């Protein structure tokens, strides 16, 4: 018994054991509190004859969603309506992440320019967008599109086959079909194969010391799956160009004002924060790296792309993760201008079914899942670019 007690005492004083033990206790306490709250709420709702559960998801929705990326009809279920809202949220958020990163990179580098006018304009861009609430910018862009642009029959053709009016943008498009989805999947697969092949060839070059041209094999790995998918699925790549009629535009893809205003607002607001993050990351790299690059014959642009930015990524990635998370969560402001994202669809569902707790739980879990997914991806990439101790 004394031996067992001594072993238990040593185990308790082990720091790793205690850390795990306290975490298990904390998780258990949270689970117990959650079960208690769930039981209490369920009992109170039952006393008031309020129906609970998720059976309502399979009932007919009966409402229209104005903008959809997937096929949706009012006769579909509430579950499919929520899926449509989730896809709308993810779509506008992903586009916002891509565009805000590109714009932020340009503006962040411009702030470090030796040209005083360019640096000042970049400074104005950042300060103007960072110090005004996003919601006001959404109202501003939506009002600008709806009130100042011409009606559809007088739409401006800003570039060939691209029209802009108070009903949004109309651009050329493909008539998307399952065959196009197969080709897109093959392109993604080819991208992963190209990365794998490139790494293998680089590893062989390091081991053998034999120089080998990489790009033909990388291009082959990328294009072969796409070519096979095209031969098998045989998609129609005919482009549907919009045409201006007497009263309306026909053909093409129509980006409505709500989507356009939301995308512009999210993109520019996040781009201002990203620009400052990128600028601070570049400034964190020592000046000696610039000097060493010039001594190797690189100009400033090559030095930035090949030497400075790769080192700055270890400083840039963590705050950029927070910026991406904020962009996804800020997309919930879409309800203010009428874009049918997850929150708007969930609100309509709750108003029709009266099951608010379930609706709130659904979009909370969706946003939690998206946030965790983004964090995992960005943390994985941060681990790839982080400096490793030798």
Residues 306 and 361 in one domain: yes
Cβ pair 102, 111 in contact under 8 A: no
Average pLDDT in the chain: 82
Question: What's the predicted TM-score (pTM) here?
Answer: 0.79
User: 237, 263, 283: which is the final residue of a domain?
Assistant: 237
Domain residue limits at 34: 2-47
Residue 253 forms beta bridges with which residues? 171
103 in a domain, yes or no? yes
User: 186, 215, 237: which is the final residue of a domain?
Assistant: 237
Per-residue pLDDT, averaged over 259-269, amounts to 90
55 in a domain, yes or no? no
The two tokens of residue 114 are 């030796």
Residues 110 and 124 in one domain: yes
Per-residue pLDDT, averaged over 194-216, amounts to 74
pLDDT tens for 14-32 read 777 777 777 888 888 888 8
User: 220, 237, 254: which is the final residue of a domain?
Assistant: 237
Residues 233 and 260 in one domain: no
Residues 209 and 124 in one domain: no
Residue 171 forms beta bridges with which residues? 253
Residue 216, exposed/middle/buried by CB under 10 A (0-12, 13-18, 19+)? exposed
Residues 357 and 330 in one domain: yes
Q: What are phi and psi of 27, to 5 degrees?
A: -65, -40
What pLDDT, on the 0 to 100 scale, is given for residue 100?
92
Per-residue pLDDT, averaged over 295-300, amounts to 76
Residues 282 and 249 in one domain: yes
27 in a domain, yes or no? yes
64 in a domain, yes or no? no
67 in a domain, yes or no? no
What pLDDT, on the 0 to 100 scale, is given for residue 390?
43
Q: Domain total for the chain?
A: 3
206 in a domain, yes or no? yes
pLDDT tens for 136-172 read 888 888 888 888 888 888 888 887 888 888 888 888 8
- Strand-strand pairing, 173-174 and 162-165: unpaired
What pLDDT, on the 0 to 100 scale, is given for residue 5?
56
Residues 269 and 348 in one domain: yes
70 in a domain, yes or no? no
Residues 186 and 256 in one domain: no
The span from the CA of 362 to the CA of 365, in Å, is 5
What pLDDT, on the 0 to 100 scale, is given for residue 7?
62
Reported confidence tier of residue 389, pLDDT bands at 50, 70, 90? very low
Between 274 and 384, the more confident residue is 274
Reported confidence tier of residue 99, pLDDT bands at 50, 70, 90? very high
pLDDT over 90 (residue 131)? no
pLDDT tens for 102-123 read 999 899 888 888 888 888 998 8
Residues 7 and 118 in one domain: no
DSSP 301-328: HHHIIIIIHHHHHHHHHHHHHHHHHHHH
Residues 198 and 171 in one domain: no
The CATH number that applies at residue 302 is 1.10.3720.10
Residues 272 and 162 in one domain: yes
Residues 143 and 278 in one domain: yes
What pLDDT, on the 0 to 100 scale, is given for residue 51?
65
The span from the CA of 199 to the CA of 6, in Å, is 52
66 in a domain, yes or no? no
Residue position matching structure tokens 């991806």: 377
């Amino acid at each position: 018994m004394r031996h067992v007690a001594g072993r238990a005492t040593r185990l308790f004083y082990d720091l790793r054991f205690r850390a795990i033990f306290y975490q298990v206790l904390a998780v258990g306490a949270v689970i117990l509190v959650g079960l208690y709250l769930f039981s209490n709420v369920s009992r109170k709702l039952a006393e008031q004859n309020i129906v609970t559960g998720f059976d309502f998801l399979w009932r007919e929705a009966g409402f229209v969603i104005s903008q959809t990326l997937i096929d949706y009809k009012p006769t579909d279920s509430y579950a499919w309506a929520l899926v449509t809202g989730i896809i709308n949220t993810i779509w506008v958020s992903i586009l916002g992440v891509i565009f805000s990163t590109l714009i932020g990179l340009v503006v962040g580098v411009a702030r470090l320019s030796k040209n005083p006018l360019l640096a000042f304009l970049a400074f104005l861009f950042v300060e103007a967008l960072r110090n005004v609430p996003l919601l006001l910018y959404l109202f501003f862009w939506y009002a600008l599109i709806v009130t100042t642009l011409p009606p559809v029959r007088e739409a401006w053709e800003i570039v060939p086959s691209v029209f802009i009016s108070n009903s949004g943008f109309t651009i050329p498009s493909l008539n998307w079909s399952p065959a196009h989805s197969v080709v897109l999947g093959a392109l993604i697969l080819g991208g992963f194969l190209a990365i794998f092949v490139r790494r293998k060839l680089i590893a062989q070059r390091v081991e053998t010391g034999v120089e080998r041209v990489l790009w033909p094999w990388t291009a082959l790995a990328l294009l072969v799956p796409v070519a096979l998918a095209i031969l098998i699925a045989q998609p129609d790549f005919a482009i549907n160009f919009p045409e201006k009629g007497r009263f309306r535009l026909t053909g093409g893809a129509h980006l409505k004002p709500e989507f356009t205003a939301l995308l512009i607002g999210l993109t520019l607001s996040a781009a201002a924060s990203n620009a400052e993050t990128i600028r601070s990351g570049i400034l964190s790299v020592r000046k000696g790296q610039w000097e060493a690059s010039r001594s190797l014959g690189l100009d400033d642009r090559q030095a930035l792309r090949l030497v400075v930015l790769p080192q700055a990524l270890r400083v840039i990635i963590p705050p950029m993760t927070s910026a991406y998370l904020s962009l996804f969560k800020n997309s919930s402001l879409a309800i203010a201008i009428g874009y049918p994202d997850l929150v708007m669809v969930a609100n309509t569902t709750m108003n029709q079914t009266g099951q608010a707790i379930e609706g709130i739980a659904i979009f909370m879990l969706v946003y939690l899942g998206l946030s965790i997914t983004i964090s995992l991806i960005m943390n994985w990439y941060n681990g790839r670019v982080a400096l490793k101790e030798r």
